[in-house]
């Protein structure tokens, strides 16, 4: 017998919690069917609302202000193309600290693309070995995740983010890589895999930049979660005849 799980889902760049929830319905259905009753899935929306100019492939109209905000496109950070720096991370750490404190503790985290990269960063910060390098905005006492699942993830670029990966991340993690992914290619995902200790598991799917919903791949994810579930401790009742009492 195992206890109900709490799973945290982190969406990708330009998505939102509700949109990611809608795109993972098949996985959610299988998870809730296969995991202990009472298991809950949480889909927060990132704290940064993107501008139209932040959206990939966006071409501003001549009469359009470049600073106009999008309707429902969110991000965990914006990347400065000139420096590679992630802007907005402190706000994200403050946001996640409050979320983990109010809705956790979570057993595991599942993230896609930018959310997959964040899953690794978050798992790292929750590990005791990384406690000395935690950002000031990350204040939660949340325990380490029991596991993580990363779809189309990538390593934060440059030496400024090495502290997330030194020492290597110890949280057991399953990585999914799309063999036809042109947004986050195989080399970028493998660069993240290499930042994990031991032999992290890697599964390839024959598709592009999306979370594979086919039963074959969903079953792999469910099996990985079940492997890292915490069993309920069963306390056996002791009969009076077995008690060490003076009568």
Task: Enumerate the active-site residues.
Answer: 113, 181, 209
Q: What SS3 state is found at 32?
A: helix
Unique residue bearing structure tokens 């403050």: 94
Are β-strands 40-42 and 6-10 bridged in parallel, bridged antiparallel, or unpaired? Answer: parallel
Distance CA 131, CA 94 (A): 16
In 3D, which of 216, 189, 194, 190 has the Cα closest to residue 205? 216
Distance CA 153, CA 176 (A): 8
DSSP state of 195: T
64-75 b/e (C-beta count within 10 Å ≥ 16 → b) = eeeeeeeeebbb
CA atoms 183, 160, 75, 24: torsion sign: positive
Distance CA 174, CA 176 (A): 7
């Amino acid at each position: 017998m195992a206890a109900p799980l709490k799973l945290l889902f982190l969406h990708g760049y330009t998505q939102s919690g509700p949109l990611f929830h809608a795109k993972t319905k098949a996985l959610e259905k299988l998870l809730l069917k296969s995991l202990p009753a009472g298991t809950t899935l949480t889909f927060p929306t990132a704290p940064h609302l993107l501008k139209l100019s932040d959206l990939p492939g966006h071409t501003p109209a001549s009469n359009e202000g470049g600073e106009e905000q999008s309707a429902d496109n969110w991000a965990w950070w914006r990347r400065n193309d000139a420096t590679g720096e992630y802007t907005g991370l402190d706000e994200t750490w403050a946001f996640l600290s409050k979320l983990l404190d109010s809705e956790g503790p979570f057993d595991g985290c599942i993230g896609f693309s930018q959310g997959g990269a964040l899953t690794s960063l978050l798992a790292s910060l929750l590990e005791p070995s990384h406690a000395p390098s935690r950002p000031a905005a990350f204040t939660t006492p949340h325990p380490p995740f029991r596991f993580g699942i990363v779809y189309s993830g990538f390593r934060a670029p440059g030496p400024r983010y090495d502290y997330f990966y030194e020492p290597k991340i110890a949280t057991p993690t399953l990585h999914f890589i799309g063999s036809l992914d042109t947004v986050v290619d195989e080399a970028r995902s493998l660069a993240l895999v290499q930042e994990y200790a031991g032999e992290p598991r890697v599964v390839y799917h024959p598709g592009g930049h999306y979370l594979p919903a086919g039963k074959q791949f969903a079953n792999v994810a469910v099996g990985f979660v079940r492997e890292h579930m915490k069993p309920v401790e069963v306390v056996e009742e002791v009969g009076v005849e077995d008690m060490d009492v003076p009568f």
